[in-house]
Amino acid sequence: MNIDLLPVLPAILVALTGIVVMLAGAFAGSGLLACRNLATAGLGAALLFTILSPPGGSMGGTILGGAYSAFLQISILVVAILAVWLAAARLEDDQVRPHEFFTLMLFSVVGMLGLATAGEAISLFVALEIMSVALYALCAMPRTGPQRQEAAIKYFITGAFSSAFLLFGIALLYGASGSTTLSVMAKSVSQGGLLALMGAAFFFVGFLFKVGAAPFHMWSPDVYQGATTPVTAFMAAAVKIAAFGALGRVVAVAIGGMSGSWAPGVALVAGFTMVIGNLGALAQTDLKRLLAFSSVAHAGYMLSGIVGMSIAATGDPATSLEALLFYVATYAITNLGAFGVLIAIRRSGREPSLTTDLTGLARRNPVLAAMMTILLISLTGVPISVGFVGKFHLFKAAVAAGYSGLAAVGVLMSVVSAFYYLRLVVLMYMEEPEEGVEFETDPGLSPKIVALAAALTFGLGIAPAPLMALARAAAASLF
């Protein structure tokens, strides 16, 4: 068996950093700044190693290197570094012990990096559980808040169900193929058969829970609202990259050959997810619940990229996977920036929680309002935004695969989303702030991180070619 540790070294670096942060806080009394800087250094070292390390490599076929793994790892690590700095701006206000928080965040990143590189089903499941268990605990912080406890319990219960479905699907696929290695599994399951089809169905159900797709999405609004905003921001951005990256590899390598059987069902779920997410967001007055339903809708858009990978259709699976990778990376940055705005400001001494809390923001903080507008325009998918570029390629891939109806639903729901996204813009620019209400801006780096997210969102909308080329190379490496 060929053992190459290069693909797993970034995860080892992050895991060691998590241990160092935990020990530094517990025994050396390291405070917020020290823990933040240690976490950033570890994540930065893993990012630098991933960028500079030679492509390829395999740890016995279970952990895989290559362009696809590198693209996902770099995306996850960039989001994690930004999330660490956003979290540091609010941990003192939230009364959270920084070494506990950052240790759990780093361990969840270890799981995400495992998902990005897993080439074998059991390794994928273990990585998913490492990520999930750390996130369950993060949602419960601080332990004194009943809202946090409720969010953690709901996330834990639904996560346990999804893990059971996923593991049962893996067992059935193993029964059909005699192997848990994805590339070996493909040779048997491509012939179809009831066992393989049931395994693929249970596997998809497990992942649909994790990404918050309808009808498995009901945990998402409650957890997003109940968890602290830094945790919600991290979950909304990084988990999407890891989960859809792993799902994309499984479809491309293992079960794509039987896509004629599962693609129509996934297309129905994708369309239903778009409708439920956008219609649900219309009724929300809480900002985090609105962004949660928005996240559900975007999961539907991303699933259209999975549907486009159907090799039974006339489209090119690699092109569809390229569109999915581009969209999930840019969505993560945009969504992280949107949550970052909530972290960066205080309205009369408290974090804005209702949509009306943004009323008159443009008059009190025009720069932050402008950045929020750029991010919301991209989430809507207005032309000349990176969100539009991503949706265009996703829907184009769905049409090429023969799912024009799914693309039409996506376009229609994008129009519907304009109502609740641009309603926030109207509140910021066209409504007068209430008497005596003051907006305070965090003096730290969180406004600068929001500015970076807005700049990337705007710049990639104008010039998407470099990132698209990287996504193309990553996708092509699996075919």
338 lies in a domain?
yes
Residue 432 is classified by DSSP as P
The predicted structure's pLDDT at residue 222: 92
Instruction: Fill in the amino acid letter for 456.
Output: L
The predicted structure's pLDDT at residue 258: 77
Please count the structural domains in the chain: 1
The predicted structure's pLDDT at residue 183: 87
The predicted structure's pLDDT at residue 233: 94
pLDDT tens for 438-475 read 777 777 788 899 999 999 999 999 999 999 999 999 99
Token pair of 278, please?
């956008």
pLDDT tens for 54-103 read 877 778 788 998 999 999 999 999 999 999 999 988 776 667 888 999 99
Both ends of the chain: CA-CA distance in Å?
23
Q: Would you tell me how many other CB atoms lie within 10 Å of the CB of residue 384? A: 11
Residue 332 CB partners (closer than 8 Å, separation 6+): 75, 79, 237, 238, 240, 241
471 lies in a domain?
yes
By residue range, what is the domain housing residue 242? Answer: 6-476
145 lies in a domain?
yes
- DSSP-assigned states of every residue in 2-53: -B--GGGHHHHHHHHHHHHHHHHHHHS---HHHHHHHHHHHHHHHHHHHHHS
How far apart are alpha carbons 134 and 103 in whole angstroms?
A: 9
Burial of 69 (0-12, 13-18, 19+ CB in 10 A): buried
73 lies in a domain?
yes
401 lies in a domain?
yes
216 lies in a domain?
yes
251 lies in a domain?
yes
1 lies in a domain?
no
Taking 70 as the pLDDT cut, the residues of the chain under it are: 1-3, 92-94, 192, 259, 311-315, 348-349, 436-437
How far apart are alpha carbons 431 and 363 in whole angstroms?
A: 9
The predicted structure's pLDDT at residue 40: 95
